[in-house]
Amino acid sequence: MLVALLALPTLFLLAALAGSLLPLNRDWEEPADGATIYLRSNGIHVDIVMPAQAEGLDWSAELPPSHVAEAPAEVRWYGFGAGERRVYLETPTWSDITLKTLRSALTGGERVLHVDQTYRPGFDLRAIRLRPEEYRRLWAAIRADFDGKPRRLNHPGYGLDDAFYESRGRASAINTCNQWVADKLRLAGVKTSAWSPFPAGLLWRYRAVAGDQPG
């Protein structure tokens, strides 16, 4: 029993490595022109960052600045992330993690969406240029996870420019926040990793960006 328990983390890591090397949409190539989105990482979690307006689609009509405490004067980018409800809402910092939240993250719970409204997309970015139809598919895939009209949760957010929303689906050690990003890219038709519970297994496929980007 002890040997089996010790082997589980190793098997998980090996599966994650294999999943990160196995491509989906393997024939996809980045176009020379199109709308640019970013993947933003804090080392543990990856967000999808999209223009407020592009390809005839407007996030501000769905998620207005009034949804956050203090949006920037000009909202040019929206960042989207997904995670397990207890982990997202009860751990504003890593020091707030408890055994209860860790258990929720591993065994699974309700998924919620986290959205920030910014003037710049942020730091530690990977850039992906999309064709119009790919961008629209990505936009639609994220919008569908709100499961109807976006319903903001009664939570202050992590700062002044962000909010949490109800979402469909569940999150777990298998279906992580980073796998959510990979799934959305797959639905858009972009080449991505088959299973990437960790940021590194996803980000290596895309162009690194120096610094933060103004637009």
pLDDT in tens, 46-103: 999 999 999 999 999 999 999 999 999 999 999 999 999 988 888 766 666 676 666 6
d(Cα 130, Cα 31) in Å, to the nearest integer?
Answer: 7
pLDDT in tens, 30-59: 999 999 999 999 999 999 999 999 999 999
Please state the domain extents for the chain: 31-209
Instruction: Determine phi and psi for 12, rounding to 5 degrees.
Output: -65, -45
What's the confidence (pLDDT) of residue 12?
A: 87
d(Cα 6, Cα 73) in Å, to the nearest integer?
Answer: 52
3-state secondary structure of 31: coil
What angle do helix axes 177-188 and 132-144 make, rounded to 10 degrees? 140
Instruction: Determine phi and psi for 208, rounding to 5 degrees.
Output: -75, 150
